[in-house]
Amino acid sequence: DAKTTQPPSMDCAEGRAANLPCNHSTISGNEYVYWYRQIHSQGPQYIIHGLKNNETNEMASLIITEDRKSSTLILPHATLRDTAVYYCIVRVSSNTGKLIFGQGTTLQVKP
Amino acid sequence: NAGVTQTPKFQVLKTGQSMTLQCAQDMNHEYMSWYRQDPGMGLRLIHYSVGAGITDQGEVPNGYNVSRSTTEDFPLRLLSAAPSQTSVYFCASSSRGVNEKLFFGSGTQLSVL
């Protein structure tokens, strides 16, 4: 699975969009980009994933660059409850159900 | 729908004791896995299973044992607890297929004295 690089921490004002970057310059053609978040020592929560195209769901949007070497998770209107550690994970659909987590980005949403 | 259930939520052991952390899921997921998370760190994979009777090692398997006799249950056994195993343990499950979204339990906080 490709390695990812994320900033260790970010701040965002409540109500503003939070844009969390992830670099995955060694990504392979069959590797997906997944995003999970962990709120204060709870179990991680799936947010979104994508292969090539941009994706949107009720929680967030995922923007993947054309060369797929980087992506951005967008929380359109961040709230205090979005304060969490966000993990970007790149992996193939390996039919194993396992994930390898990095250090993630701690997002602090401030009033 | 309970999802992924872990028991106990908290546990204190003495060095050398053994115990089993329980994990059960009611979503009929084929895949299950165990992770540990040390303070201020990301999650590390201990063991995983792709179906009943099939298990494999993850990044940090030493000192832990698993079995998968049913689709629903995936217990994690600490054979002889050590202080280095003080951590929060998370169990996860997911279905087969390209999406493979993981659902996590709420965790077991383990302290080994």
- Residue A53 touches chain B, beta carbons under 8 Å: no
Q: Extract the residue ranges of chain A whose pLDDT is less than 70.
A: 1-2, 93-95
Over residues B44-71, the mean pLDDT reads: 94
Do residue A96 and residue B50 have CB atoms under 8 angstroms apart? yes
pLDDT of residue B1: 64
Which residues of A28-99 form beta strands (DSSP E)? 31-38, 45-50, 55-56, 61-64, 70-75, 84-92
Whether B86 has a pLDDT exceeding 70, the answer reads yes
- Residues B33-49 have a mean pLDDT of 91
For residue B95, the chain A residue with the least C-alpha distance is A97
**E strand intervals along B3-107:** 4-7, 10-13, 19-25, 31-37, 43-51, 54-57, 64-66, 76-78, 87-94, 103-104
Question: First-to-last CA distance in chain A?
Answer: 37
